Structures are given as structure tokens and as C-alpha cells.
Amino acid sequence: MNVRSELLCVRNLCVSYGGINAVKGIDLDVAEGAMVCLIGANGAGKTSTLKAIAGLLPVESNVVRLRDEAIGGRRPHELVRRGLALVPEGRGIFAQLSVEENLAMGAYVRSDHAEIQADLRQVFTFFPILEARRRQAAGTLSGGEQQMLAIGRALMSRPRLLLLDEPSMGLAPLIVARIFEILAKIARQGVTLLVVEQNARLALQACDRGYVMENGLITLSDSAQSLLHNDQVRKAYLGE
């Protein structure tokens, strides 16, 4: 039996802004090579948690560790260099730039040109529609294509840990299923994933492990399969 080591370790994470305590001292671990989800209702603190991990909200240094390095308080571009990338809620693509230019932006911290081209080919393998639209302005893509582009752009930084905030938001079920199939392939290639997702059933079916967040606190954590069969989760989040 292979024992995975922890890639991400979060301890006593607190996030406050505008007089609101959005995250109230949570602990969270993500094993290397795992696909982990964080589920909960709107306003539970999920997005604030991801933003804090990604350096977009201030936290103390030792609260967040990537491998054995304390990364809390580092700026987002420094974290990208260390192998952490975020696909934000709302995608955040550069609408006026082409698909290919958006993907190039994902590799802005790199200088290994041959490897960048290899990674570009890999992104086009995952998302063939992006290759077909590579010269097209990103703002003219459909919502699903824009989500694929946002994921592809993050992959171009060659992350060890990929954070995704609501990848299914506003998308048709068939597109969502396709995106989660690709995320599973990305995980099988060795990228560790932490996914914030309001579609709890989808997230738990796709992931290895899950955390349930309510009112800024982690209230449950277990294997994804166990959470799928947990009565509390089924009533609150699965509509059963």
C-alpha cells in the first residue's frame, strides 16, 4: 500500500475582511497526487480559503505549508514559481487576447521554451477545441470553452498543486462532465488538485477525499465515498 505524503498542509487558517470572520481557524491537508474537494453552501468560506492559500488574502507564514516550506503571506506570483496555480471563480481570462496568448500568459514565470511548447501541446491534447480556436479572441469563446482555457492557462505554469474555484459554475451538465473527466486525467498525470465546488455530488464522485465547510469551519472530513453515504451530507447537500 502506497502512503501519500502531504503536499499542502493548512493549520488554523483564519481569514477576516470587512469586519467579517470568513474562515475561523480551519485545518486542511491535501496529499500529493490526490484530488480533494471542499464543499459547502454559498458563504461558507470556501472561496476565501482558496484565495488565502493562493496568496490573494493575507495569512500568517506558518499557517500554509507547501511541502515543508511555509508559504503563507507570499505573493501570488511567488507561489506560481513554487508550483501553486489557481483557476479562479469566474475564470478571469484576458478577453481581448487570443486563446494562445492567454495560454502563454500562464507560462510567464518560465523560460524553458522547449518544455513550454511541450506543455502547450499537452493542453491542446486535453482540450482540442482550444487548438482549433487558438487564434480566436478569448472573449468570444463559450462559457465552457473559457473554463477550459482558464484550466489550460493554469497548467501552463506546470503546477504541482492546482486550485480550482467552482469549475462547474454556469455550465451545461454535459460540459461540466467533460471538464471533470479532464480534471481526473490531470490528476492521474501527477498534478494534485484541490477543488471548491457547490455541486457536492459531482465533486464527491470525482474526488478521493472531501471536506465540508459551514460558516467558516470544517465540520466534516473523510474519504469522498464515505461522505457520499453520510446521512448529514446527503440531507444537506445531495437533496436526499
pLDDT tens, position by position, 10-27? 999 999 987 888 999 999
- pLDDT score of 4 more than 90: no
pLDDT at 43 over 50: yes
Residue 62 clears pLDDT 90, i.e. is over it: no
The owner of cell 487570443 is 98
Q: Could you report the per-residue pLDDT of 121-130, keeping only the tens digit for each?
A: 999 999 999 9
1 three-class SS: coil
How high is the mean pLDDT of the chain? Answer: 93
What does the pLDDT average to over 141-162? 96
Contact 53, 84 (CB under 8 A): yes
pLDDT band of 1, cuts 50, 70, 90:
very low
Which single residue is written with the C-alpha cell 486535453? 126
What DSSP character marks residue 237? H
Q: CA triplet 175, 178, 179: central angle to 5 degrees? A: 90
Task: Pull the grid cell for residue 193.
Answer: 488538485
pLDDT for 239 beyond 80: no
pLDDT given at position 36 = 98
Per residue in 104-139, pLDDT tens? Answer: 999 998 889 999 999 999 999 999 999 999 999 999
Contacts of 125-129 spanning 24+ positions with Cβ under 8 A: 126/151, 126/152, 126/155, 126/182, 126/185, 126/186, 127/151, 127/152, 127/182
Mean pLDDT of 177-198: 94
Model-level pTM? 0.93
* pLDDT above 70: residue 2: no
The DSSP secondary-structure symbol of 175 reads H
**Which pLDDT belongs to residue 68?**
86
CB contact set of 112 (below 8 Å; sequence gap of 6+): none
Q: How confident is the model at residue 90 (pLDDT cuts 50, 70, 90)?
A: confident
